[in-house]
Structure 1
C-alpha cells in the first residue's frame, strides 16, 4: 500500500472478495516522507524505505492473485513491486485497476508483469475475474476487464454502466487496515459515488464517460438505513473520535442530507467533516450539519475568475455562490477548509487577488494549496498540449507514470515572475487563518516579494504545519500521530521490539476477533491487495 493510509476502494474490493470466499491479505507500505501526495522529503525517504518489507510480505503469502489500485504518482512503484513478485512467484496473476489504469489501459496492459487491467468500477468485474481465474482463466470477455492471451492478443471486455444500487455492496473492510492505522482516530467512509461536475483537472472528467451505451446515473447515493448500519457496526467495534465522509459532494442530495443527519445525531453522534460544493451549500444545510456535529467542511474553490472558471475549468458556480457558501458556513461555525489551485493554464493572474479578497473577508480554517498537475485522460492534458505548455513526449512520460509532479510543487509554471507571484500568495494564504482581522486587511502578498522562491516554499510548508497543529486541525493531528507511530515502529522493529497494532478495539470487538479456521479441503485464491484507488 503505497500511500501509507487507508484507501476505501481497496477496502471495498476486499469485502467483496471475502464475501465470495477468498482469503484477502494486505501488503502495506507506510511510505514515510514519500507518500506521493502530501509529504515528500527526498533526504529522509530512503532511510525509511520499506519496499523490501512489502516484497517479503508477498513472498510469504504467495498469493494466487496480486491486485493493485494505482494512481499516476504510485504507478511506477507498483510496477516495480509487480515485477519482483513475478520473479518470486511466476504463477501469480497480476491485476491493475484504479484511476491511472482506467485512463491509459493499453499502456498498462503492455507491461509484461501485468496480466489483467480493470477499467472503471470493479465492484462486479473484480469478483468475476477472480472466479474466472479460479476456474483456470476467462472463457469469454469480462465486462470492464482487459487481458492478454498467451499469443499476445488483447481481449477487451465491454465497458459496463455504473453500478446503481450501492446498498447491494458490503461495507468497507476495515479489518484489512487495523494493523497499520488507527481507524478510530479518523474513520473514513462514503455515502455516495460520483460528482455532478466534470472539472477539466479531475479524474471525473473522463471516468464518468467510460461506459459504452447506457451508463446509468453517475452520482449515486446509499440509503440512509444502509449508511447508518455501517456506522452502528463501526461504533460498536472501534473507539471512534472523528469521522470523515469522503464523498465528492456530500451535500448533493438535500432531502437525503436532512434525513441522514437527523438520525446521525441521535444514533451516532461523533464529530465529523465532509466535502461540499458552493452550489450545494445553503443556510438549511449549514444548520443541519452544525446541529449534527459537523466540525469542518472542505470546499474546492480553485479559482475566483468566473469567466475563466466556466470556459477553461468547466466549473459553473459564480463568485456569488462562493461568498454565500462561505458566509453561511462561518455563521454556523463549520470551520471551512478550502482548496485553492495555482498554475491553472491560462488563468489571469488577477484571479489570485480576487481570491485574496474572499479569504480576507471570510477567513477559512485552512487554505489547502495545490499546484496544477496534468493527469492522464483529463481534458486539462489536451488543453496543455494545445497551449504548448506540455509536449507529446511529456504526455507519454506522464501516461507511463514518469515525471509525475508532486501536488505541492510548481514545475509546470515555467515563468519565473509568475511562479514568484504565486509563491507570495501561497505564503499569505497559509497565514490567513491565524492573522487578526486588522492585519489580514493591511498585509498584502507583495510584502513577501523580497523572499526567494525556495524560502517562500519553506515558509508555506512550515506555516501550514504549525498553524494546523496550533488550531488542532484533525487532519494535522491525525497525520502527526500516524507518523510518530510508524517512525517508532520502524526503529523498535530494528531492535526486535514489536509495537501493538495502532487500532484500538472495543471490548466486545476484541472477544470476536479470534481467527476463524477455514473448512477442511477448502481451496480459494489468496489475494494480496496493494495500492490506492
Structure 2
C-alpha cells in the first residue's frame, strides 16, 4: 500500500498537498493526518500497523525535524520506500538526501511526479523521465528535469475525498486560484516561481460551493498575490459576496499598492462585515531595505490603500512586518513598527526574519552578517544592523503586541494609549520589561491579569493618561465578557445606592436583578453601569 503522512502545525489546519497527491494518483493511496503535537510513538505505531510499501511525507519547516526522526525509525524496522516532498526539502535537497535514509525527494510541484514515481516503482521504466525527482545512485545525487504544471485545469479536485468529509466543518479549507508570484523578494520562497498559472475560476467557485455544502466555514486562499489579476480575483469575490450563508470567512494574501479602489469599493459596498479578510505585507517602510531585498512597493500608495480599506470597517485587515531585513537597524524598525501600528489593523503580525532554504537572502547571509539558527525555522539571532540585544528587544515587543493588541481584548484602551505616546514601539518594549522585572510569566496568565498589569504599568510609566486609560480598560473588560465577570478593581461602596437611583428611571429591570447582574464603576467623570443577561451586556452611563 501507499501511505501519505501529513504533520500539521495545528488540528484546524488541512494539508492540501497530500489530498492533491491522492486525487491525482492512479493507485490506491491512504492518508494519515497528525499534528506536530502528537506523540512520535503514537505516529510510529499508526504507520507500522499499516505495513506500507511506500510512505510519502509532506515536509515543512514546522515538521521537518519530526519527519527526519520518523524516517530513521521507520527504516530501522521496516523495508519500505520513503519519499519526501514539500517546500522545506525542495531546495538544498542534496544535503537532505545525503544525510537522511530517504529514498526519493520530489522538488517542487508533485502531483504528476508522485504518480509517475509510483508507476515506475510498480512497472519499472526510465526513472529520469519523472520530473522534479531527486535520488541517489552510486553515491551521487541525481536531479531530473524541473517542470511546472502548465495546465492547472488538468489536476483533479482534492476536496471530495470521502474519508475527510466529517472533518471539513472543523478545519480551515485551503484554496488556490493561482500558483506562482510576479515578485522577487529575496527572503521569500514564492519568488522562485515567477510563472503565474491559474485554475479555472468556475472550478474554484464549484469547490467553494461544495465545501460550504458539507459544512466548511473558514477558507484561506494560498495565492501569494491573490489580486495579481483583478479580473479573475473579482469573479471569486463577487461569488463570495453573494453567498447567502452567515458566519463564513475568506482570507486572501493581497499586494496592497497594486490594489484598485474599484476592487475595494465592490467589497465595502456589498460584502457582509468580516466575511473577507486581507493579509497585506508591509514588511518594512525603509526604502533602502526594500531595495536590498528586491521588494518594490510604493509605500505612500500602500498606506493610502490601507486607510481606504478601513474607512467602511467591512474588511478584516491583517498586516505583516519582518524584523531583521538588511539595512534595517533598531531605529529604522521602530519607525516601521510605529507607522504600521498607527494604521490600527485588526492584527499586526511581527515576525523575525527566517533565512529559508532556497532563498537568495540565505545565500547572502555572510554578506549581511547574519547569525541564525541552523535548525528550522532558521530565525536570525543578529546581523550587521541588529545586535543580539536588539533582536531580544524586538522579540519582547512581539510578545507584548500579541498579548495586548492582537488578541483584541482591549481595543479601546490600547488605541487610546498608542495615540497618546511618542513611540508605540517604546511603549511595548517598556511594557515587556515591566513584565520581566515584575516576574510575570509570559504564559499561563488570566485575562484579568493582563488588564490589571497593563493598568499598573500605565499608572507608573504614563501617569498623565492613566485616568482615561483606566476608564477605557474597564469598558473593554466588561464588554469582552458575556456574563458578569470577576473584577480586578475595587467595588464601589455605594454601588447599591447608585443602582437604586438608576432603577428610578429604568424600571424595565427588576431592582433585585440589577443587584445580581449589574456592574457599577466609575468611568471618566460619571458612572458606568453594565447589565448582564441572557443576551449581550447593556451599557448605561449614569451621572
Change (3 A) 1:66 1:232: same
Report what 2:308 is aligned to. Answer: 328
Aligned ranges for residues 113-512 of structure 1 at < 5 Å?
113-136=101-124, 138-149=126-137, 151-160=138-147, 162-173=148-159, 175=161, 178=164, 181-205=167-191, 207-208=192-193, 218-236=195-213, 238-266=214-242, 270-290=248-268, 291-293=270-272, 294-309=275-290, 311-333=291-313, 334-390=315-371, 398=374, 403-405=375-377, 411-412=381-382, 415-423=387-395, 425-426=397-398, 429-430=401-402, 431-432=404-405, 434-436=411-413, 437-443=415-421, 444=423, 445-447=425-427, 448-449=429-430, 451-452=432-433, 455=436
Q: CA deviation at 1:428?
A: 6.3
Q: Secondary structure at the match of 1:134?
A: helix
Change (3 A) 1:88 1:324: same
Aligned ranges for residues 80-91 of structure 1 at < 5 Å?
80-90=69-79
Off by >6 Å, runs of 4+ in structure 1? 460-467, 469-472
Change (3 A) 1:460 1:96: same
Change (3 A) 1:450 1:227: closer
Q: CA deviation at 1:421?
A: 4.1
Report what 1:505 is aligned to. Answer: none
Which of structures 1 and 2 has the larger relative contact order (alpha carbons within 8 angstroms, sep 6+)?
A: 1
* Unmatched runs of 5 consecutive residues or more in structure 2: 1-5, 452-476, 481-543
Distance in 2, matches of 1:227 and 1:470, equals 42
Report what 1:65 is aligned to. Answer: 54
Q: Secondary structure at the match of 2:348?
A: strand
Contact 2:381–2:388 (CA under 8 A) maintained in structure 1: no
Does 2:20 match 1:16?
Answer: no
The alignment yields a C-alpha RMSD, in angstroms, of 3.4
Q: CA deviation at 1:15?
A: 1.2
Q: Secondary structure at the match of 2:394?
A: helix
Change (3 A) 1:157 1:109: same
* Unmatched runs of 5 consecutive residues or more in structure 1: 33-48, 209-216, 473-533
Report what 1:501 is aligned to. Answer: none
Q: CA deviation at 1:462?
A: 7.2
Change (3 A) 1:76 1:242: closer
Change (3 A) 1:263 1:120: same
Change (3 A) 1:109 1:174: farther
Report what 2:41 is aligned to. Answer: 52
Distance in 2, matches of 1:423 and 1:200, equals 23
Q: Deviations over 1:76-112 (max 9, x none)?
A: 321221122223321x111112112211111122135
- TM-score, normalised to structure 1's length? 0.71
- TM-score, normalised to structure 2's length? 0.70
Q: Deviations over 1:231-284 (max 9, x none)?
A: 222223x21222222211111111112223223434575432211012232321
Q: CA deviation at 1:305?
A: 1.0
* Between structures 1 and 2, the one with greater strand share: 2
